[in-house]
Structure 1
């Protein structure tokens, strides 16, 4: 099976040659809250080598907690965030799961929370695998 998705305006599309994400997580870090404009970002972590992106993207790099860059990839036309790509973990990439095709999004089963140290107090849901920071 292949996971597929796109930005809001369809200028950027992608496919991931995997049956399912390695993990599906709520990312509570402050940067993801700001990028998503929400309480957290739902991410589908996949092997970077399995991802193919079509269309022009832009990225902005900020410093992650490791001290290494985290590249935030987005569509320059509509601004939709597509993924974040941490230099500290070069083998994986975190797809913004809201950009997956609609039928695929409905099958996701988040069970992990990362950066719970930044979790907003009104977010009540607790998942089975919480991590105060990034899992090692």
Structure 2
């Protein structure tokens, strides 16, 4: 199974030649701000299996590790594409909403990360919650 997706305007496209390592809700404050929502649906994949085409921009902020987290987005429409943490160089977290409609329909979120930032009105609980990153 491979994955594919694109930004809202279609200027940035990507493919992933691997199965997701994790599909879940990321409740960290930075993801809330980047998505403008209460959490970000993330699909964690091996970084070396991701191919992005089109021009992207990124914003680097400091993660809880003290290392940079690069937030990759389309400079035309602003769609967030992924976040790439320097603290975990082998993986990258694709924003689930940017996947193709077919791939989105197949997602099975089974975990939550950064539940320390989970907003009190988000009541859904998944099987494997982590207060911060998976320990």
Pairwise TM-score range, normalised by the shorter structure:
over 0.9
Equivalent in the alignment of 2:32: 33
Gaps of 5+ in 1: none
Distance in 2, matches of 1:2 and 1:15, equals: 7
**1:92-111 residue pairs with structure 2 within 5 A?**
92-111=91-110
Report the secondary structure of 1:106's partner residue: helix
- Number of residues paired by the alignment? 135
**Deviation >6 Å, runs of 4+:** none
- Output the aligned Cα RMSD: 0.5
Offset of residue 130 of structure 1: 0.3
Offset of residue 106 of structure 1: 0.7
Equivalent in the alignment of 2:123: 124
**1:1-136 residue pairs with structure 2 within 5 A?**
1-18=1-18, 20-136=19-135
Offset of residue 39 of structure 1: 0.5
Distance in 2, matches of 1:67 and 1:17, equals: 30
Give the TM-score normalised by structure 2.
0.99
Distance in 2, matches of 1:94 and 1:16, equals: 11
